[in-house]
A and B are shown apart, each in its own frame.
Chain A
Amino acid sequence: MTRDAGQLTPRQAVIGLLGLALLFGALVAGLDWLLPRSERIAALEAPAERQNDSAPGVVSCPSAIDLPSQPIDVSASDVIDCPDVYDGRRVRYTGEVVNAVLLRDDRAWLQVNDDLYALVAGPLPEHRTGLGGNSGLGVSVPVEAARSIERVGSRRTRGDVVRLEGVYLKADPHDGGVPAVRADRVVVVEHGYLVRQATVTRRLLVAGALLLASALAVGAWARSRPRRVLALLRRR
C-alpha cells in the first residue's frame, strides 16, 4: 500500500469498527423481528443433551448381563453409545419415519427418528422451538410392513410414528456394516399429518419493500452509468 493524504486517525478507525458492529447488531435485531413467533414448549426449554450426569463426551453403559432376555425398549442414543451391549439383542424401538422408504426386493429401508421432534413436540416448523438435532436409526423391515406406512417426515409432513421389534446389529452384514435394526414386527402407532405453516405477513412486506428499494437502486445505477452497463452486457 502506498501513502498519501486522507489517512485515518486511530480514533476514526475504532469508531468505524464500532459503527460497523452496531450496524450488524441492528440488522440481526431486525431479522429477529421477522421470525415467526415461537410457540415455546416450556417443559422442553432446557437443552436436551447431557441427559446423564457424566462429563461431556463421556457415556456410561449398562452391563449386558443386567439386561432382561425379552425385548428391551431402546433409543437411538442407547444403541449408538453402547453398541456392544445391545449388539444382537432383540429390541423395541419407536420413532417417526423420515425422508423416504427405500424398497429393495423383499425388504425395505426406513430411517426412523426418535428425537424430541419425532416423539414429543412434532416437527420444528409446527412450533418453532429448537430442541436440538435429529437422532435416529436405519431400520430394515419386510416390504409388506413398509407398505403400511403412509407418510414420511419431511419439510411439510410429520411422518407416521411406528413401533417396531427386531434385532439390533451394530454392523449389519446385509448392508456392509452399518448399524441397523432388522425388524420383523412394525406397527403404526400414530399416523402422520401435514404441517400447517402460517405466512409471516410482516416478512412478506419487508421483502417487498427491500425488493423495490433494490430495483430502484439498480435502476439509478444503470441510468447513471449507461456506458458501463452496455460494456458489461457486451462482455457477457
Chain B
Amino acid sequence: MLLRPDRQDLSLVARFSGRVLLGLGGVMFVPAILAVAWNETNEAAGFVIGACLCLLAGMATQLPPRPRRAPDWQHGMVVSATSWLVGPFFAAVPLYLSGHYSRYLDAYFDAMSGLATAGLAVINDLDHLALSVNLWRHVLQFLGGQGLVVMMLSFFAVGGGAVGMYAGEAREDKILPNVARTARFIWRVALTWFVVGVLALWAALAIAGMPVWQGLFHAITLFMAAFDTGGFAPTSASVALYHSWLVELVIGVLMVAGALSFALHFHLWQRRTGELVRNIEIRFLAASLFALFAVAVAGLASTGAYTSTEALFRRGLFQIVSAHTGTGFNTVPGRMFVTDWGELAPAAIVMAMGLGAMAGSTAGGIKAIRVALTARSVMRQLLHLVLPEDAVTVATFHSGGSRQVLRPEVARSALMILLLYLLLYLVGALTAMFYGYPFDQAMFESTSAAAAVGLSVGITGPNLETGIKIVYILQMWIGRLEFIAVLVFMGFLWSAVRGRT
C-alpha cells in the first residue's frame, strides 16, 4: 500500500514544477521581443500574456513556506511528470492566441508535440503563420529536446531530488560528477552544434536559392527541429520545399548528431573517438539503420516507386534516417507512404520509428541500448541451452566508456521498457482503428506519436478526431518520459486518494 502524500510533498512538487514554469516564462520573452521587431503586435501580446502567466503561476508556487524536507528521488520523478503535463499547457498560450488553432486542445497537442520532440501537428494554415509563433514551435522542440527539467536544473539549486528529476526526464547519463554541471554541459554541446549547424544550413539554403534572411530563419528553425530530433518544419512541405540534396545532407548529419547520447558527445568532446567503434548502442544503431535501409530499398524497388537509383537511395535513406533518429522530417508527402510505397518500405519505417536512437539523446522510441541488451540476453540464454550444464557464461557490453557485465536485473529492466513501448504503440493503433482507420496506417501513426517521431500518413491534422488526439497526447507524454516518471506520478495521484496514512 502506498503512503498518502502530505502538504510538504505537495509543496515540494509544486515548488519545483513552478520553477520549470519560471524558466519557460523567461524564455517566452525572447519571441515576444522578436515579434515586436517583426511588427507582429497581436502575437507579441500573446507571448507577453503567456510569459506573465508562467511567471505568476511559477511565483505562486514559491509563496508557501519552504518545506522542511529536501526533495527525494520520488519527488523528482513526480516533478518531471507534472512539469511535462503543465508546461505544454502554458507553452500553448501564444500558439492558441495566434488564431491558427480551432480549440485549446489543438494548441496543447502541438505544444506537447513540440516539447516531446514528436513533430506531429494539427495547426491550420501553417504557411501563413506569423514568424514569431513559427519560431516558438521550434524553440519548444529545442527546450524539450534538451529537457525542461534540465533547463531548470541549469539555473536553480535543487538539492536531493535533482537525480530523480533528471532521471524522470528519461536521462540516465552521469556525464559529470553532479547533475547541475551535467545539465550545463548538455546546453554547451547543443549551443556549439547550434552555431555550426545553423551556419551550414544557411549556406546550403543560400545555394538552394533561398533569399538570405528567409534562409537564416529557415536555418535556425530547421536546426532546432533536426538536432533535437523534433520534426516540425517552418512550412507545410517540410524538407521537400528545398529540392536540394545539400540541404538534405546537412539535415541528415544534424539528425544523426541529435540521435547520439550526450554521454557520447562528451566522449567525442574529450576526443575519445574509440567510443564510436566500441559502444554497443552505436554498433546496434549502425546495424539496424543499414538493415532497415536495405529492407526499405528492397520494398521500394519491388513496387517500382522509383526507377532511378539516385531516387531510390536518396528517398529511402532520408526517410529511414529521419524515422530511426526520431526526427520526422519528410521529403515525400506522407500520404505517398500509403499510396506509392507498398507494404515493405513503410513497415521498415515503422520499425525504425519504434526502435528509436540512443538512450540519453533527444530522440524517443524504445532506444538502441534496450533492444541490444535484450538481444544479448536472449543470446546468452540460447548459449546456455547448447553448452554443458556446468558451463558459466557471462554477457558483457561496452557502454559509457567501459565494459560492463550484463546483470539479469539490467536485462529485465530493458525488456520491461521494451514491452511497455510495444503496448503503448498498440494502444494508439487500436484507438485509431476504433475510429475506422486501417491497421497499417493506425500502427504507423501511433508508433510515430509514441516514439516522438512525427512522420504521418495523413491521419494527424487539424481535423483529427478528439479521442485520437487525447490518446496521442498521452502517448507523447508517456513516450518522452519513458514510463518510470509517469508510473510514479500515477502512484502519487492514487496514493493521494487511496493511500495509507
Do A and B share a complex? yes
- CB within 8 Å of B: which residues of A? 1-8, 10, 13-14, 17, 24, 27-28, 31-32, 34-36, 38, 47-50, 55-59, 77, 80-84, 98-104, 108-109, 111, 113, 115, 117, 123-125, 128, 130-136, 138, 140, 153-155, 158, 170-171, 173, 175-180, 195, 197, 199-200, 203-204, 206-207, 210-211, 213-214, 217-218, 221
Residues of A within 8 A of B72 (CB): 1
Whether B127 and A1, one on each chain, are in contact in the complex, defined by CB atoms closer than 8 angstroms, is: no
A175 to B245, CA, bound (A): 8
Contact flag A7-B123 (CB < 8 Å), given A203-B97, A217-B55: no
Residues of B within 8 A of A123 (CB): 125, 128
A178 to B4, CA, bound (A): 58
Residues of B within 8 A of A125 (CB): 99, 128, 130
A28 to B53, CA, bound (A): 12
Whether B436 and A204, one on each chain, are in contact in the complex, defined by CB atoms closer than 8 angstroms, is: no
Residues of B within 8 A of A132 (CB): 124, 461-463
Whether A102 and B210, one on each chain, are in contact in the complex, defined by CB atoms closer than 8 angstroms, is: yes
A177 to B306, CA, bound (A): 7
In the complex, what residue of chain A is closest to B341 when comparing beta carbons? Answer: A83
- CB within 8 Å of A: which residues of B? 3-10, 40-42, 44-46, 48-49, 51-53, 55-56, 59, 62, 69, 72, 74-75, 89, 93, 96-97, 99-102, 104, 121, 123-131, 134, 208-211, 214, 235-237, 240-243, 245, 305-308, 310-312, 314-315, 331-333, 335-336, 338-340, 435-438, 441, 457-459, 461-463, 493, 496-498, 501
Whether A57 and B441, one on each chain, are in contact in the complex, defined by CB atoms closer than 8 angstroms, is: yes
A57 to B339, CA, bound (A): 10
Shortest beta-carbon distance, B327 to chain A, in Å? 18
Whether A8 and B4, one on each chain, are in contact in the complex, defined by CB atoms closer than 8 angstroms, is: yes
Closest 9 CB pairs of A and B: A177-B311, A102-B209, A210-B52, A134-B236, A124-B125, A130-B124, A123-B128, A207-B45, A13-B496
Whether B56 and A8, one on each chain, are in contact in the complex, defined by CB atoms closer than 8 angstroms, is: no
Whether B312 and A177, one on each chain, are in contact in the complex, defined by CB atoms closer than 8 angstroms, is: yes
A115 to B462, CA, bound (A): 13
Whether B56 and A57, one on each chain, are in contact in the complex, defined by CB atoms closer than 8 angstroms, is: no
Whether A134 and B42, one on each chain, are in contact in the complex, defined by CB atoms closer than 8 angstroms, is: no
Whether B339 and A124, one on each chain, are in contact in the complex, defined by CB atoms closer than 8 angstroms, is: no
Contact flag A109-B209 (CB < 8 Å), given A49-B461, A217-B56: yes
A-B contacts besides A35-B97, A57-B338, A57-B457, 17 pairs, CB < 8 Å = A3-B6, A6-B7, A8-B6, A77-B335, A80-B336, A84-B340, A102-B242, A124-B128, A130-B102, A158-B128, A170-B305, A171-B306, A171-B308, A200-B42, A214-B52, A214-B55, A217-B56
Whether A80 and B124, one on each chain, are in contact in the complex, defined by CB atoms closer than 8 angstroms, is: no
Residues of B within 8 A of A6 (CB): 6-8
A128 to B129, CA, bound (A): 12
Residues of B within 8 A of A77 (CB): 335
In the complex, what residue of chain A is closest to B307 when comparing beta carbons? Answer: A171
Residues of A within 8 A of B96 (CB): 31, 35
Residues of A within 8 A of B99 (CB): 35-36, 38, 124-125, 128
In the complex, what residue of chain A is closest to B52 when comparing beta carbons? Answer: A210
Whether A217 and B49, one on each chain, are in contact in the complex, defined by CB atoms closer than 8 angstroms, is: no
Residues of A within 8 A of B55 (CB): 214, 217-218
Contact flag A58-B339 (CB < 8 Å), given A34-B97, A102-B208, A109-B243: no
Whether A57 and B6, one on each chain, are in contact in the complex, defined by CB atoms closer than 8 angstroms, is: no
Whether B210 and A100, one on each chain, are in contact in the complex, defined by CB atoms closer than 8 angstroms, is: yes
Whether A55 and B436, one on each chain, are in contact in the complex, defined by CB atoms closer than 8 angstroms, is: yes
Shortest beta-carbon distance, A82 to chain B, in Å? 7
Whether B461 and A133, one on each chain, are in contact in the complex, defined by CB atoms closer than 8 angstroms, is: yes
A154 to B127, CA, bound (A): 6
Task: Tell which of B75, B97, B126, B315 has the most Cβ of chain A within 10 Å.
Answer: B97
Shortest beta-carbon distance, A77 to chain B, in Å? 8
Shortest beta-carbon distance, B328 to chain A, in Å? 15
